[in-house]
Structure 1
Amino acid sequence: MSAITSLCVYCGSSSGRLPVYTEAALQLAASLVSRNIRLVYGGASIGLMGSVADEVLRLGGTVVGVIPKALAHKEVIHANLTELHITQSMHERKLKMAQLADAFIALPGGIGTLEELFEIWTWAQLGMHSKPCGLLNVAGYYDGLNTFLEHVMAEQFVKAQHHALLMVEEHADVLLERFMRYQPPAVRRWVDEAEI
């Protein structure tokens, strides 16, 4: 695995019910800055998105936001980012984030977070990238999803090698260490980026 210099974080535009979710976002931010890894994220100033970005900036790190024009005009855009990309659509946003990042982590979040995670994981399955993908399972937030994904694999809708493309850990430092040692498996390339 080549060095990770840029990491995309998918997470909620809400802070969620428990303070531990924000604490985990702050810890992930500190872990990124300590490793000199820039943050790529959805560009908003609210929820866990705002928390992780604010903390990276406070600690002297680099933050790249990518936000679609429609959301930028609804005043959720973060005003103090190192770099900002405004895209024409949500699809363009996700592609840009994928192009800018060497790895991907999902913190707790809602439907949008899950959709982004599943898309980037699918792209790995299709051989479109060989970058590490992970879930930060804060306070058991993703326990139910993990159980379901084990069921999906047991029912033979997902192969074990593709299931293993998604790493799950409770702590940011542990997940990042796994990313640093990640050796992508040989995965057949089904489609090219231009075909999506």
Structure 2
Amino acid sequence: MKNIAVYCGASEGNDQNIVKAAIRLADWLVDNDFNLVYGGGGVGLMGILAKRVLDRGGKVYGIMPQELVDRGAAYDGLTELKVVADMSERKQLMLEMSDGSIALPGGPGTLEEIIEAFSWSRLGDNENPCVLFNVDGYYNHLRDMFDYMTEKGFLTRKDRSKLFFTDKLENVYTFMYSYIPPKIREY
């Protein structure tokens, strides 16, 4: 395991505990010799995360659609920035380049990216573990929703166990290294 995709916002939000968690995650990545694969932004949590990894001597690979580069959203000084045609290509390439996925608290884009990564794992198109970094219970309602999906028979208990919610980075490491992808669904 070498490259970790992190999904996070182009906004910092309004909770300094989440900003501090982004810095802790950056430190954890570098301390465990992981490279960061992310959306390539220089603003919000994306910028905080990338800057911290780079400042600590880590490698950061950004992937950004041309339209966002044209708007000035790209972080200058990354290890590498790949410019792609659109968000669909970005998400696909992020999964291909990474060995695991982590979502910091964020908005609809963050949520969409980590949920798509998990959904693809059930189809056999993503073998990477998916983790939601549940800072101060940010993802508690989403966790409850996945439990309810399971209760209602839309998600198996076995597959539900493949989506990990935690507020402890040491648990992320253990989950990722012991992860076995879901069995590919057959109909």
Residue 137 of structure 1 is aligned with which of 123, 134, 137?
134
Match of 1:30 in 2: 27
| Distance (Å, rounded) in 2 between the aligned partners of 1:23 and 1:177 | 22
Deviations 1:15-68 (A, max 9, x none): 111101111111111111111110000000011111110110010000000000
Contact map agreement 2:122 2:183 (CA 8 A) in 1: no
Measured after TM superposition, the shift of residue 186 of structure 1 is 3.1
- Residue equivalent to 2:116: 119
- Distance in 2, matches of 1:184 and 1:100, equals 17
After TM superposition, where is structure 1 displaced by more than 3 Å over at least 4 residues in a row? none
Letter in 2 for 1:115: E
SS at match of 2:150: helix
| Contact 1:10–1:107 (Cα < 8 Å) also in 2 | yes
1:138-182 deviation per Cα after TM superposition (whole angstroms, max 9, x unaligned) = 011001111111111111111112211111110223212221222
Q: Which residue of 2 aligns with 1:150?
A: 147
Q: Does residue 10 of structure 1 match 2:35?
A: no
- Partners of 1:61 and 1:173 lie apart in 2 by 19
Bigger shift: residues 64-73 or 126-135 = 126-135
CA shift at 1:189, angstroms? 6.9
Give TM-score, length-normalised by structure 2: 0.96
- Partner letter of residue 60 of structure 1? G
- 2:163 is matched with 166
**For 1:102, which of 94, 99, 103 is the aligned residue?**
99
Aligned residues, how many?
187
Pick closer, same or farther for the CA change 1:186–1:48 going to 2, 3 Å: same
Contact 1:45 1:78 in 2 (8 A): yes
Map 1:19-98 to 2 at 5 A. Answer: 19-98=16-95
The TM-score normalised by the length of structure 1 is 0.91
Counting aligned pairs with the same residue, the percent is: 37
